[in-house]
Chains A and B, each alone.
Chain A
């Protein structure tokens, strides 16, 4: 249950990036999962660097690493959009999709070449945890500090993002561009800048997710972006692609479903179960749980 929530928060954080980019330019950013993978590597690098500099206080290190990773992944998001998608903005819908797949392969292989294909690891920063519902020596629910960190950070991150989109001027511009890009630009909104910002935000969120996962599990390789990316994408579709709370909800549901299934039934079939769930939801509600059916544009 707790594992599911943790996994779900991570999926949710990544799903937000898919959903925002889809909402604003109607394209699926396949390179998004790889930004998450890069975040895991960056986290390890920054951890090593900070430790080398002599910083050991865990909260301080975690905050710094999170901030630095977010910054660099945001830069990645910006560059990916600038290089791979903006030049193709005027072409048909297939071109940026293929460009996205290409970008994903480039990022994977560049990390593989520069960092090696082996599974990497980091020392765990946060040990220990809290025991709840203790009934005797073998019956308890253990929540590690790292898990608490993930859930809390995910909730805070989502809250900030929600406020940014619904409470500030730049978020207003994002929503306007999402609804009618041409009209927004005719009113003087710099739509290219807004799209860049959406990519930056999405990548930043994926960066947070990558950092958190590294804190928790401590091991990663150049291929984690693919599987997790697909799962997060599933979560976004499950919740209704284009919808921000939908992405988070979809992530949590997917995470819970996976961990409950592997806990009670069978670990090997957890992915089958997760995707069956997706198919089921899409049959019943084609636009996702919180999605709205496409409104015909007049």
Chain B
């Protein structure tokens, strides 16, 4: 029997004024898999990511995130969407809606274990590589002004752990030599790696990569593929990625979801999707590197 999906997206709809960016999108992400979202430009791939990570509050639909420890997080609620009829049915529903309205935000999605990277790199450019990784760690959550100023033992322990974890990921992505450089001064390929390393520091269960191979040369892309597979093997991370490089998609993904005009066109194994006539049509002919 297949394990239950890590993420189940159902009827996800996103409207911006009159424009329907996503229309009842539904797909599942199996735990430990690499799922690719592909489709022509403007198909709504990035919008799906924005909804998943709490960037946008979706207009309708649900995104349920099943963590391995049995906790189920309704990602669509985290941003405190509009009031619905169901919220008034029970005091608990009312309370949660009110809570998310007041305290909700994208940070909660990250803490639930959904972390993303961006198509255009968004590092903290004025901070060092190390600091970029430290910011991403939860350790600071329990640390206020006083514990930092007084350097309490608990604070120091948390800092030491955070630094150790940061070194682990620096080594993993072969960035260890750059620890004290400003993130903005790194070459492009390393900035990409650093962004993934930083996302890993949040200890995600679902890592969403938005065009991780954009602007990388073929050998860097190949390295990236190996890293993604290694993350999945060695760290139990489930990966969801948007990518235009069909070679990379076909090489590493287990499941491909094709979006077009805000709707799911086809979903299935890469080789099935590749030969699907509807997909070929959406791309106006054959994919570049099928």
Binding site for B on A (CB under 8 A): 160, 163-164, 167-173, 175-176, 179-180, 182-192, 197, 200-201, 295, 298
Q: Are B126 and A169 in contact (CB under 8 A)?
A: no
Given A164-B148, A179-B124, A180-B124 in contact, is the A186-B106 Cβ separation under 8 Å? Answer: yes
Q: Are B145 and A170 in contact (CB under 8 A)?
A: yes
Main secondary structure of the interface of A (DSSP, over half): helix
Chain B positions near chain A (C-beta within 8 angstroms): 53-55, 103, 105-107, 109-111, 115-116, 118, 120-122, 124-127, 131, 134-136, 138-141, 143-145, 148-149, 155, 158-159, 162, 198-199, 201-202
Q: How far is the CA of A163 from the CA of B151 in the complex (A)?
A: 11
B131 A187 Cβ-Cβ under 8 A: no
User: In the docked arrangement, what's the CA distance between A274 and B209, Å?
Assistant: 52
Residue contact B122 to A190, C-beta cutoff 8 Å: no
Smallest Cβ-Cβ distance to A181: which chain B residue: B106
Query: In the assembled complex, how far is the CB of residue A82 from the closest CB belonging to chain B, in whole angstroms?
Result: 11
A172 touches B140 (CB 8 A): yes
List, in ascending order, chain A residues with CB within 8 A of B115's CB. Answer: 186-188
Contact A186 B53 (CB under 8 A): yes
Residues of B within 8 A of A191 (CB): 105, 107
Contacts of A169 in B (CB 8 A): 134, 139-140, 143, 148, 155, 158-159, 162
Partner of B145, one of A164, A175, A188: A164
Contact of A175 among B122, B127, B140 (CB under 8 A): B127
Whether the pair B126, A182 counts as a contact (CB closer than 8 A) is no
Q: Which of B109, B126, B131 has the most CB of A within 10 A?
A: B126
Using A160-B149, A187-B198, A188-B202 as known contacts, list a sample of 6 further A-B pairs with CB atoms less than 8 Å apart, ordered by residue number in A: A169-B159, A182-B55, A186-B106, A186-B116, A187-B201, A191-B107
Given that A176-B124, A192-B105, A298-B120 are contacting pairs, would A171 and B111 also be in contact in the complex, using a CB cutoff of 8 Å?
no
- Beyond A164-B145, A164-B148, A185-B105, whether A179 also contacts B138 by CB under 8 A is no
Report Cα–Cα, A164/B146, bound state, in Å. 9
A190 x B106 contact (CB < 8 A): no
Chain A residue numbers with a CB within 8 Å of B140 are 169-170, 172-173, 189
Q: Is the CB of B106 within 8 A of A170?
A: no
Q: Looking across the interface, which residue of chain B has its beta carbon closest to that of A204?
A: B145
B contact residues around A176 at 8 Å (CB):
124, 127, 131, 135
On whether A168 and B149 interact (CB within 8 A), knowing A179-B124, A186-B53, the answer reads yes
Given A184-B135, A186-B116, A187-B202, are A170 and B110 also a contact pair (CB < 8 Å)?
no
A160-B149, A168-B148, A188-B111 in contact; A183/B105 too (CB < 8 A)? Answer: no
Q: How far is the CB of B245 from chain A (nearest CB, A)?
A: 21
Nearest Cβ on chain A to B67's Cβ, whole angstroms: 15
